[in-house]
Every structure is written in structure tokens, then in C-alpha cells.
Amino acid sequence: MKTKAIPEGFHSLIPDLVVRDVAPEMNVFSPQSSGGGSSSMYLYVDDVDSVFTKAVSAGAKVTMSLADMFWGDRAGGLTDPFGHRWILAFSFQEIQ
């Protein structure tokens, strides 16, 4: 069965607002501890490998290499040239 690029019930852009130190092992901190923004964007795309490569070519820095995640997404993290943090993803498997 072919899965949808965006899982049922999700949208292509999912804001993730961090208000406290919830995941320091993932480099996610509060504004007080990081000296910057506390948000990131989780963006579902149809061809994550291509979009990820294009973003890096345009100046984004890789913060998490693309990988197949246990929750069924292929995802990778980037920081754009302006300091905004992004997770680009494609849903390759529906986890029940």
C-alpha cells in the first residue's frame, strides 16, 4: 500500500513552539538558554531528499542528517542562513 506524503490529520507545515528545555539531546532549548528563537518548522514534502539537498545548496546548515525515523517519516534537520530551524520530512510508512 502506498502511503501519503503527509500523514492523515497533519498539514504540510506544523509549527513546533518550545517554551522550556524539553529536549536538550535534540538541540531544542528555551529562548533564555539558547540566546535565540525557540521554534522550528516541521515541513512535509513529496521528495524530501531533493528538497533537503537543494536547501543545503542554498546555504542551509545540516543539524540532523536525513534518516528513516521509527515513527515512519524520513526526516532531516536544517538551519537556514537566517537562523530559522527546519525539519524536512516525508511520511514513508503509516505506524499503527
pLDDT digit string (tens) for 10-67? 777 766 655 455 577 777 665 556 566 667 788 999 999 999 999 999 999 999 999 9
* pTM to 2 decimal places: 0.67
DSSP per-residue letters across 29-57: --HHHHSS--EEEEEE-S-HHHHHHHHHH
Domains and CATH numbers, the chain: 13-91 (3.10.180.10)
3 state SS of 24:
helix
Amino acid at site 86:
W
CA distance 81 to 9: 31
